[in-house]
Amino acid sequence: MNKAKFITFEGVDGAGKSTHLAWFADTLRQRGLEVLITREPGGTPLGERLREILLNQPMHAETEVLLMFAARLEHIEQVIRPALQRGTWVVSDRFSDASFAYQGGGRGVPLAKLELLERWVHEDLQPDLTLLFDIPVEIARQRLSNNITLDRFEQEQADFFERVRAAYHRRVQQNPQRYAVIDAAQSLEKVKYQLEEVVLSI
Ligand code: TYD
């Protein structure tokens, strides 16, 4: 059997990635694979406590980066690596691409600092595949406006999300073979159709 894969879902808030993640994981399970669903920030007891702080407590942009990567280290060592080693596939709602997009693109934290932390925390571990849910910021904002409460990131303005989206695009350009870019502006059914194609290619 092929070795277990590490797959991540990314995109600006409101792109709809979380809606599709459970369906995607179920489709893999139907193929007889063991699949673990997890998320960042979070995925461990400590990571979930850090998530609560990160999503609600104002802080310096570089504190935000350090806490994201602290939560990530715990997640990798306690959850992701052990799962992959026992042959379980891991599907994570966000990973380091989100730090490059949100803290790097959105907040303007220098790339060199993010690259340093990435090397420190997971030099030898990268997703095998990343699904980027790509959507014009205006449409994502409209979808978010249905939410009753918005976290610290979701409350950011359109220009912040434009920078986040552009940073995701730069990541894809640098390493296109790792990404499947999903046109998330389409109907749920059409997005699902795109995901089916991705599943067939795995
Ligand atoms: P999100 O994944 O959108 O969860 P939900 O669908 O429950 O709102 O929320 C996580 C937020 O954290 C999102 O706004 C992006 C942000 N984030 C970063 O800024 N940097 C990171 O490295 C990660 C993992 C997430």
Paired sense of beta strands 89-93 and 6-11, if any: parallel
Number of residues that this document lists for the chain: 202
Distance (Å) from CA 176 to ligand 1 centroid: 22
Ligand 1, residue 153: give the atom nearest the CA.
14
Going by alpha carbons, the residue nearest to atom 19 of ligand 1 is 102
Q: Tens of pLDDT along 99-144? A: 999 999 999 999 999 999 999 999 999 999 999 999 999 999 999 9
d(CA 6, CA 127): 5
Torsion on CA atoms 117, 71, 77, 101, rounded to nearest 10 = -50
- Best residue among 9, 13, 100, 145 to mutate for probing ligand 1, ranked by most atoms within 8 Å of CB: 13
The pLDDT value given to residue 186: 96
In 3D space, the residue among 136, 108, 120 whose CA is nearest the CA of residue 69 turns out to be 120
Domains of the chain, earliest start first: 6-201 (3.40.50.300)
Q: Is any atom of ligand 1 closer than 6 Å to the C-beta of 93?
A: yes
pLDDT at 1 over 90: no
User: So what's the pLDDT on residue 65?
Assistant: 98
CA-nearest residue for atom 22, ligand 1, is: 99
CA distance 24 to 37: 10
> Which is the closest atom of ligand 1 to the Cα of 41?
24
Q: What is the pLDDT of residues 33-59, one digit of tens each?
A: 999 999 999 999 999 999 999 999 999
pLDDT score for 19: 87
Task: Compute the mean pLDDT over every residue in the chain, rounded to the nearest whole number.
Answer: 96
Residue 2 scores a pLDDT above 90: no
Distances from the Cα of 82 to the Cα of 36, 42, 114, 177, angstroms: 11, 16, 25, 25
Give the percent of the chain with pLDDT over 90: 96
Q: Are 135 and 15 in contact (CB under 8 A)?
A: yes
Lookup result for tokens 């998320």: 39
Largest CA distance in the chain: 46
Q: What is the mean pLDDT of residues 81-88?
A: 98
Q: Given a cut of 70, is residue 169 above it in pLDDT?
A: yes
Helix (H) or strand (E) holding 37: strand 35-39
Ligand 1 site-directed mutation target among 66, 102, 133, 152, most atoms within 8 Å of CB: 102
pLDDT more than 70, % of the chain: 100
